[in-house]
Structure 1
Amino acid sequence: MAKYCKYDHPGEVTKKVGDSRTCIQMRRGREDIEKFLIWELVHGEINFWKDKWCPTDHLEPLQQDKEEDLLVKDCWSGNEWSEDALNTILKESSAERISKIHFDRNKKDQIHLIKRTSSSLSKDIQNSIFRGDNCQCNIFTCKKFLTPSMLFFSWRVLNDLIPTDDILKLKGLKVISRCHLCKNNQEFSDHLFFSCRFSRDVWKHLTSKFNLNLINVGRGNIKENLKDWQEINLMSLPFSVAWFLWNARNNVKYEDIGTNPNSVGSNCQAYLQKLISWKKFHKILKNLPNIELKQLKVIKVRWEKPPYPFIKINTDGSFTNRKAGIGGIFRDHTSKVLLYFKAPYIAADALDTEATALYWALNFSMEIQWNKINAEVDSYLLVDLITENTLPPWHII
């Protein structure tokens, strides 16, 4: 907050023309949080009048003109309150109450929550602010049924932070607004998630699979209708559907990947089936197939010596977006290491590194005239390419 209030006290910063969205949100957060906090006096490096370090009714100034930059420590004399200093700025009753407040100058000024209920200050603040019918609080109650990405997306929806065309226009960007799903109307969140022809077809696909009545549940604005979904214990449902609609919209806009309502509806249905089977979500689907967890098959892999007089080559390739590398090792029938190599490499993909590592290993074998070779790689695709079971990509040829 300091960068936004270089010359003002943080509690007195007001809205200015040109304020960033970050500054506006911080100011709103300050207004909500301030009433729950109080300073513990230690060094006294806090403002006597503007910071909250005692009950507000304790500070009754003796006169209207008061020293705005006065610090609490200016009213101390050693490790005690200075009665003379207090009596020059406060009424007698206030000065008497203030002089009874204890402080310890051997520590550091700390800020505390007025009513602590747990060991976490952040958690106490969240519980104090986000309670009752507050949307930001409610969304976190259904985190059991939403992935972290979905939960963050839902929070952004509730705070009008997803970059739909109407939000981009508010930020000053000049865009030609068009819904990328229905291609007809301008794009805004309510249209995209509920009133768009595409989204209506998705909801129609889903509701035909439900064994519950949604007639009394509003579907026009998530924030306004959140209570309706909460009353039937399905608050996570509209956010789940909105998530899949948002992904479909982004695929069309940025990847030029077409989609259809049935496909998006099926993805939503599949997600709900998993929630019902594994997360004890409400059984709202009519026909729920039995989804069984696949049994993991463990295959033990161990290195074996080659028969005499063969030499075994083990190669591997490593590939990331930033760099790649290749390497290999030669061993004889007694497991003795005869040769090894490693090198950085510029590759197109992981298969490229695996193929290149094997190529150089075979090349070294020919130069040394090791003619009886066993080669092991850890890429099934490379094995298929070598045995001609799969056609190779052009960059491997």
Structure 2
Amino acid sequence: MIYAKFHTNSGKRIKYNKNSSVWPGIKFAETINKPFIGWIIGNGKKIDFWRDSWATCTPLREHIDLPNHLWKLCTAKVSDFINSDGWNVPSDIFLAFLAMGIDITSIPCNPNDEDIQIWKSDIHGEFSVKNAFESTRNRLDTAWWWKFIWLKCLYPGLSGFAWRLMNQILPTDDLIQRKGIQLASICTHCGCIAETVDHLFFECTKVKVLWSWATSTFNLAAVSKHERWKQILEKSQALSTYINDLWITMVLSVSRWLWNARNKLRFDERKLSIREIQNRVLREIDNNAKMSKHVVKSCMWKLLNISEIKLCCDGSSLGNPGPSGIGVVYRDWEGRVMGRFYKSVGITTNYLAEVNTIIDGVDKAIHRGWKNLWIVSDSSAAINAFTTHKIPWKFRNKWIQLLSSMQSIRFSATWREADYLADTMAK
């Protein structure tokens, strides 16, 4: 009703005044929220072909320059181009779509369902005031280091020191001098040059010995002269979660005891040897290791039911979000590999890559005539999305279409080690 009251027949806002207590606020929010509103296309009866954002991020009307009086005649619905089998687009309109860079056949539609309007920035398409605020507000980039210093495996004291270290608020000599305070400076450890953050934690001869000891303990590549906190903390990402936690604890503990040793020598005139620092670091790692998750569980590989095909699925994202890939291995009920499938899926998150793996894996299986499927993935979140029917809105229509072609399907969550091949292909 509000839309009809404040818009002309051609879909433009009226240019004259009408009294309303809510329209000024709606008008302000409309331009901000419009890019986040989209559609899951069903039969197309609710979607304005020209004025709603269903084919691209903007309405088709904004791609075409027509006089206003002609837009009054453009009243088509998306349903006018859908029949019981799917899209039914005239060839001239199909070519016009291609000229705009739109392949309409790649847009899923489900003629047996109604259209659903969705909020794009929510993974399930559900609108909430909280999500709308988070999507539209201006915010600074998140610091890269927060995921390293607030781990559950770290004691609050170590996390607090790491926060001061990463925010560059430790009172090193160079920081004090930048605040305008005249200060004679020299490195407390080596006594060779002035103290700076880089020299104290990366360049001093004493710290080089400690970093060499730390990396050799974990059998990692040595710290080069160009590496800083981000590169050092990420050295163990390819290792297990437990070892990664221990490495982060090692890096932060070495840094803290370097700082403590500097303060003890400067203010208490007590020098800590490299061996003493190493022992205290190891003691701190031992204390923090008790807080890290290191549960060992057994797993076993089971054969399938007769005539069933097992899909071992895995998705991977380098960055979350970042460049992503998917990998699927197909096995029959005798354990033989029947095929494999892998590809890049562009920039996305780990979760969406895992969901995409299952969708595309099932699609390929159906095309090969396999309709009794057992889906296995190391992502319990992705498996839960399918078992609870809460598929991300981007894949919902395609999944509904795939379900209609299957005879049976079941899901299981497992560990990554259960199928190393799928994990390797995804990366």
Q: TM-score range by the shorter chain?
A: 0.3 to 0.5
Greater relative contact order (Cα < 8 A, sep 6+): 2
Q: TM-score, with normalisation over the residues of structure 1?
A: 0.36
User: Which one has a bigger Cα radius of gyration?
Assistant: 1
Q: TM-score, with normalisation over the residues of structure 2?
A: 0.34
